[in-house]
Amino acid sequence: MCLAIPAEVIAVDSAADTAVVSLGGVKKTISTALLEHVTIGDFVLVHVGYALHKVSPEEASRTLALMAEAGLLAEEIEEMTA
C-alpha cells in the first residue's frame, strides 16, 4: 500500500530540488520540486519519492500515531527503504 507519509527534512539541496528525510531512523533522498521553500526541520508528506505538502509537527505526529495504531507505519517505513 502506498500512502503519503509524514517525514522530517534533515538536509536540503535547493540546487537539485531534493531533500533528505528521516522517519523511524530510515533516511531517504526525495524530490522537493513540487514545493517551495523546504527547510531543515520541516515535515512533509512523502509519496513515491516526492514531497507533496508541508504539515505541522503536530499533524505529522498525529498522523504517524494513527498509522502506527492501524499497523501501517512499519509497512510504509519498509517501502521507504526499497
Q: What is the pTM of this model?
A: 0.86
Query: Cα–Cα–Cα angle for 73, 74, 77, nearest 5°?
Result: 85
- For the chain, how many helices (H) and strands (E)? 2, 5
pLDDT for 24: 82
Using one digit for the tens of pLDDT, what is the confidence trace for 18-75? Answer: 999 999 889 999 999 999 999 999 999 999 999 999 999 999 999 989 888 888 777 6
Q: Which pLDDT score is estimated for 70? A: 85
The residue ranges of every structural domain in the chain are: 5-80
CATH topology (fold) of 5-80: SH3 type barrels. (2.30.30)
- Do residues 7 and 46 touch, judged by C-beta distance below 8 A? yes
